[in-house]
Homo-oligomer: A and B are copies of this chain.
Amino acid sequence: MKQWEDNIRKVTPYVAGEQPKEKDIIKLNTNENPYPPSPSVQKKYSEIALDRLRMYPDPEASELVTSLERYHGLDKGQVFVGVGSDDVLSMAFLTFFNSDKPILFPDVTYSFYPVWANMYRIPFETPFVDDQFEITVSDYHRENGGVIIANPNAPTSLALPLDRIHDLLRHNQDVIVIIDEAYIDFGGESALPLIDRYENLLVVRTYSKSRSMAGMRIGYAMGHPGLIQAMVSVKESVNSYTMSMLSISLGTASLADEEYFQKRIIQIKETREKTKNELENLGFFVVESSANFVFAKHKTIPAEQLFHELRERKIYVRYFKKQRIENFLRISIGTGDEMKKLIETLERIIT
């Protein structure tokens, strides 16, 4: 043991879904979009003069920030962009959760929240979701150092109705409340209309799911300009230039084609409903999903067994070996063809 080892920060990192290197995998384990990014992104890509790479990008990413403000009908200074919503959320934890009181989030939720809390030494408590995985908002009616809720929640896929979010905000006006809306384009009601009323509300989105751009790493937060400015200052104290020239340009281009965007979302929702029915026919209980994945439990066969049997047949889904959800699989919604193969494979495994 070297003496310097004492001062290395010890952490338990987040474990992301596997990114297999083989090609013929049906990959339903990280909630990626099965469709390519908008043609407007491809068009922009082919127009970019790569010589510009020699220069630093705009540290404020103004082109992307302004486009997002316009897209969402917001004022100047209401958008913060980062390297995926994980970067945005990490920065928000660092910026806003500096109280001695514990922050609150559900026990079953995005498993990065406790990792960031541990990383930044933020105390936290995790009120239980109920047996139907519903968040009980009254659990959050108590003194705390901040609140973060994923809506729709992951891995449960359940949406929290807007009046419940509203209630949460009414009871939490002294702390920052973050609503992580990574999946909101696939269902549920956004809290975005509430940011004018609640200066302490931060709404976070990502390009990784509905915009088919996980590979590009773009996420953003929306809120009162005071909150956004605080995040910008923290960002400028970590890395002046987080967004590459290409993220800024291609992220902006993605917003230009609303029709393509909406069409793909409808397609994914249709595939989701079809998949849900077929899974139910195979004896699964499937949580009512507002996301681009379903959370499902078979009536007799353990999830871990199904996970391994699917994996052997080159279909990757997500399995969490964790209390309360260890009998569930989280299955991303792929193309119609991919889901057909999933259902056929499950049929063979089950019967």
Interface residues of A (CB under 8 A from B): 2-9, 11-16, 19, 21, 27, 30, 32-37, 41-42, 45, 50-59, 83-84, 86-87, 90, 94-99, 115-116, 118-119, 145-146, 173-176, 199-200, 208, 212-217, 226, 230, 232-247, 250
Residue of B nearest to A15 (CB): B236
A-B contact list, 9 entries, CB within 8 Å: A4-B175, A7-B146, A13-B236, A15-B236, A21-B58, A30-B56, A36-B54, A53-B250, A90-B239
A13 surroundings in chain B (CB, below 8 A): 232-237
Q: A50-B37, A217-B242, A241-B217 known; A16 and B56 CB under 8 Å? A: yes
A157 and B50 CA atoms in complex are apart in Å by: 28
Minimum CB–CB distance for A29 against chain B, Å = 10
Q: Do A36 and B59 touch across chains, with their CB atoms under 8 A apart? A: no
Number of copies: 2
Q: Do B217 and A57 touch across chains, with their CB atoms under 8 A apart? A: yes
A157 and B54 CA atoms in complex are apart in Å by: 20
| Majority DSSP secondary structure for residues of A touching B | loop
Q: Do B4 and A176 touch across chains, with their CB atoms under 8 A apart? A: yes
A235 and B245 CA atoms in complex are apart in Å by: 22
Residue of B nearest to A53 (CB): B215
A199 surroundings in chain B (CB, below 8 A): 2
Residue of B nearest to A230 (CB): B8
A248 and B116 CA atoms in complex are apart in Å by: 25
A208 and B53 CA atoms in complex are apart in Å by: 9
Q: Do B96 and A7 touch across chains, with their CB atoms under 8 A apart? A: yes
A199 and B212 CA atoms in complex are apart in Å by: 42
A240 surroundings in chain B (CB, below 8 A): 14, 16, 86
Q: Do B216 and A53 touch across chains, with their CB atoms under 8 A apart? A: yes
A208 surroundings in chain B (CB, below 8 A): 56
Minimum CB–CB distance for A198 against chain B, Å = 10
Minimum CB–CB distance for A324 against chain B, Å = 23
Q: Closest 10 CB pairs between A and B? A: A13-B236, A215-B245, A3-B174, A53-B215, A54-B212, A36-B51, A16-B240, A119-B237, A86-B239, A11-B237
Q: Do B242 and A83 touch across chains, with their CB atoms under 8 A apart? A: yes
